[in-house]
């Protein structure tokens, strides 16, 4: 949808985004491409999620003898947030 908004703008059309009750990350992402965003003060708006933090808890878990297994499939990003090695 964001691609189509950009295509409409290239054709000279004005784009207005209307966010009503909830605009999660995808809705906010699309609205960013609009010429104008209209929302109410009560609209719950999500973020795009470009920043995140990972905490290295490896030593903390070891103190309590806690370990875990993770499931993986052919997608290399499946467990990006759960891998102890990526902390």
* Cβ proximity of 82 and 55 under 8 Å: no
The Cα–Cα gap between 33 and 38 comes to 13
Q: Catalytic residue, from 25, 70, 83, 86: name it.
A: 25
E runs forming strands in 20-62: 22-23, 36-39, 44-45
Q: Which of 65, 61, 54, 63 is nearest to 87 (CA)?
A: 54
Residue 47: active-site member:
no
Active site amino acids: 25
């Amino acid at each position: 949808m964001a691609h189509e908004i950009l295509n409409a703008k290239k054709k000279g059309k004005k784009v207005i985004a209307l966010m009503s009750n909830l605009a999660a990350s995808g809705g906010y992402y699309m609205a960013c491409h609009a010429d104008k965003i209209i929302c109410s003060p009560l609209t719950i708006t999500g973020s795009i999620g470009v920043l995140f933090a990972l905490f290295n808890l490896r030593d903390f878990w070891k103190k309590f003898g806690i370990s875990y297994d993770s499931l993986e499939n052919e997608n290399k990003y499946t467990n990006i947030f759960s891998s102890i090695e990526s902390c």
